[in-house]
Amino acid sequence: MAPPGTRPAAATVPETAGQQPPGERPGDEPLADDALVDLAAELAASDIDEVLLRLDRELVGLVPVKTRIREISSLLLIDRLRGRYQLGSARPSLHMCFTGSPGTGKTTVALRMAELLHRLGYLRRNTLVSVTRDDLVGQYIGHTAPKTREVLKRAMGGVLFIDEAYYLYRQENERDYGQETIEMLLQVMENDRDDLVVILAGYKDRMDTFFQSNPGMSSRIAHHLDFPDYTADELMAIARLMLADQGYVLSPGAEEALAAYVRLRMAQPRFANARSVRNALERARLRQANRLVSSGARQLSKGELMGIEADDILRSRVFAEAEAEAEVASAAPAD
């Protein structure tokens, strides 16, 4: 399982080998008015269900998001079938905005969206270019346009994913060069909308402010998907998937310790949902490895190599900080 929200900035996901580009798919020839189209066969040929099932496996929860992705996929498939009967319909706008906290699966969904759009013939490449402000905006005059053009060139034919897109616009700085990038994006999103899908991402309140300051950008976004924070139970399910994918197993005590960790960490600043869980598990792996090496054992079983024990979790600073806060609170005089 690929942990949600872990795609690095300026990352380019390579195209999937062996897929046919749009325009070369068998069965797209025009149909007579009295002909029937086999919907089940078209679904099977597009592999939409396979991509959506993979999304279900990769991401826990997010039912409203997954429902919206399925609706968009269904619309695009039906539009493609309508085209075979020469039924006129405008190509739907596909630019999107994903809002939510870090670690809620926005990048993973963007990856699957790129794959779906390619398989349905709406993009010629199954690729996603993930960037932030630093990849688009320069620090001096004449630097921004070349940087932005280079990113757009790499993304053309696929999906451009701009994380924390609100940082492109800095109203307090009149000499900021981010506005130049925004103007270039607006032009490309309109003129090249058949060859590029732009997905903006970030916190909902900040994206709302960004759109208020840039109404031209807001008018070009057709789909707004909100990614809610995970619940404690969902985060535990994500942790189990991550551990299973890496060949680790929680002992009963470790399961309880991790559940306590998640509850405490959710209440702390800079909590990043699945990303914070992933980081906690990485540190637990470090402690498990050190525990095994320091044990002095000459032989280890497969179970010992796979097992995460309670102490591997409880040694986190999160528990020490919570205990210190409790001591301070208990020592404080009553009102």
3-state SS of 64-92?
HHHHHHHHHHHHHHHHHHHHHCCCCCCCC
pLDDT of residue 141: 86
Average pLDDT, the chain: 88
Average pLDDT for residues 308-322, to the nearest whole number? Answer: 93
27 confidence band (pLDDT: 50, 70, 90): low
Give the integer Cα–Cα distance in Å for 263 and 248. Answer: 22
Q: What is the pLDDT of residues 139-195, one digit of tens each?
A: 888 899 999 999 999 999 999 999 999 999 887 766 788 999 999 999 999 999 999
Name the residue with higher pLDDT: 302 or 10.
Answer: 302
Share of the chain above pLDDT 90, in %: 69
Cα–Cα distances in Å, from 226 out to 71, 98, 200, 208, 309?
A: 15, 6, 12, 12, 36
pLDDT of residue 322: 81
The rounded Cα 253 to chain-centroid distance in angstroms is 32
In terms of DSSP bridges, do strands 128-131 and 11-13 run parallel, antiparallel, or are they unpaired? antiparallel
Terminal-residue alpha carbon distance, the chain:
50
Give the integer Cα–Cα distance in Å for 181 and 143. Answer: 11
Question: Whole-prediction pTM value?
Answer: 0.83
Contacts of 236 (CB under 8 A, 6+ apart): 258, 259, 262
pLDDT of residue 224: 95
pLDDT of residue 18: 42
46 confidence band (pLDDT: 50, 70, 90): confident
